[in-house]
Amino acid sequence: MPSLTFRGRTWTRDRAMVMAIVNRTPDSFYDNGATFAEQAARDAVTAAVREGADVIDIGGVPASPGSEVTEQDEIDRVVPTVEWVRKQFPDVVISVDTFRAAPADAVCAAGADLVNDNWAAADPGILDVAARWGAGYISAHTDNVTPRTEPHRPFYDDVVASVLEQTTALAEKAVAAGVPREGIMIDPAIDFSKNTLHSLAVLREVDRMVATGWPVLLAMSNKTVVGESLDAPLGERVTGTLAATALAVDRGVAMVRAHQVAATRQTCEMVAIVRGERNPARAVRLLA
């Protein structure tokens, strides 16, 4: 598997990397503010690292519509956590889920390695920030929707073609802005500007994204596509999430964003072991 480099540090891998979600928000869709308090966020980071997370993704603004979060609010929520993580876990990759240039600049100054922009450079200055710091950048597909809004009845002639065209074009735009190519990933943004049928179509053909040569981030942990596919309430979507994760990782996805870190890492490792890309932790049965 090709390596990834963020801010001059290279991670070589024999399986898909695991990005742990830590929300510094009171209204995130999954945990409903469980890690909004600073100490709770630190405890969650510590647990995620212990469970094998490669990347810690810290967010200060929910993706869904809701109360306004100013740029300063976002900075105040996220920067102290980033500073603490950088000091306590110097080897972990720190990603920050933000769509605005000023917060992106502040978190990079605090030690973040990767700008996870879910809204496709709606603030174009975010590319210049990533370039200036040599940070990685996530190029996501949102079909030009305004951040923190949900379109009514999104329509595509070919949703997969739209994802391929828009993510790769933004990735090349990031390179042109000076973002290091080896730190850029593309993200189909499951459920963003997509109904469940759209998201399933993208998942079925995620290998086409992999074939572009850009490393692919899959962020679908416990999302609506799983809930509607299985008629599963929010607390019962882990099995479906892991099943789709295994299929996507087998097709070459480079990183998976997850709420359940240990289960996701085991899923990624097992796929790599079955594929022969990683050795078993031990193999002694009928040999000893």
Tokens, residue 50? 């212990």
Q: Which runs of E-coded beta strand occur in 126-276?
A: 136-140, 184-187, 217-219, 255-258
Distance CA 244, CA 213 (A): 21
User: What CATH topology corresponds to 4-274?
Assistant: TIM Barrel (3.20.20)
- pLDDT in the model for residue 85: 98
Q: Which of 50, 97, 20 is nearest to 258 (CA)?
A: 20
The reported pLDDT for the residue numbered 91 is: 93
What is the model's pLDDT at position 213?
Answer: 97
Inform me whether the pLDDT recorded for 3 exceeds 90: no
Residue 28: the pLDDT is: 83
Cα 267 from chain centroid (whole Å) = 17
116 - beta bridge partners?
97, 138
Q: Is the pLDDT of residue 29 over 90?
A: no
- Of the listed ranges 107-111, 145-149, 256-260, the least confidently predicted one is 145-149
Average pLDDT of the segment spanning 157-178? 98
In degrees and rounded to multiples of 5, residue 5 shows phi and psi of -125, 125
Task: Give the whole-angstrom CA distance, residue 34 versus residue 30.
Answer: 9
pLDDT of residue 86: 98
Cβ–Cβ contacts within 10 Å for residue 78, how many? 26
What length does the chain have? 288
Assess whether pLDDT exceeds 80 at residue 16: yes
Taking alpha carbons only, the member of 106, 159, 98, 142 closest to residue 123 is: 98
**Mean pLDDT across the stretch 47-53?**
98
- What pLDDT shows up at residue 12? 86
H helix or E strand, kind and range, residue 79: helix 71-88
**What percent of the chain stands above pLDDT 70?**
100
Residue 27 reports pLDDT greater than 90: no
Domain boundaries, the chain: 4-274
How far apart CA 16 and CA 79 sit, in angstroms, is: 27
* Res. 288: pLDDT tops 80: no
Say if residue 2's pLDDT is above 80: no
Coil, helix or strand at residue 168: helix
Is residue 130 within 8 Å of 162, Cβ to Cβ?
A: no
Given a cut of 90, is residue 31 above it in pLDDT? no
- pLDDT for residue 32: 81
Whether the per-residue pLDDT at 11 is higher than 80: the answer is yes
User: What is the per-residue pLDDT for 141?
Assistant: 98
pLDDT of residue 64: 87
Q: Render pLDDT for 107-129 as a digit per residue (tens, 0 to 9).
A: 999 999 999 999 999 999 999 99
Q: Are 259 and 237 in contact (CB under 8 A)?
A: no
d(CA 112, CA 199) in angstroms, rounded, equals 29
pLDDT-derived band at 13, boundaries 50, 70, 90: confident
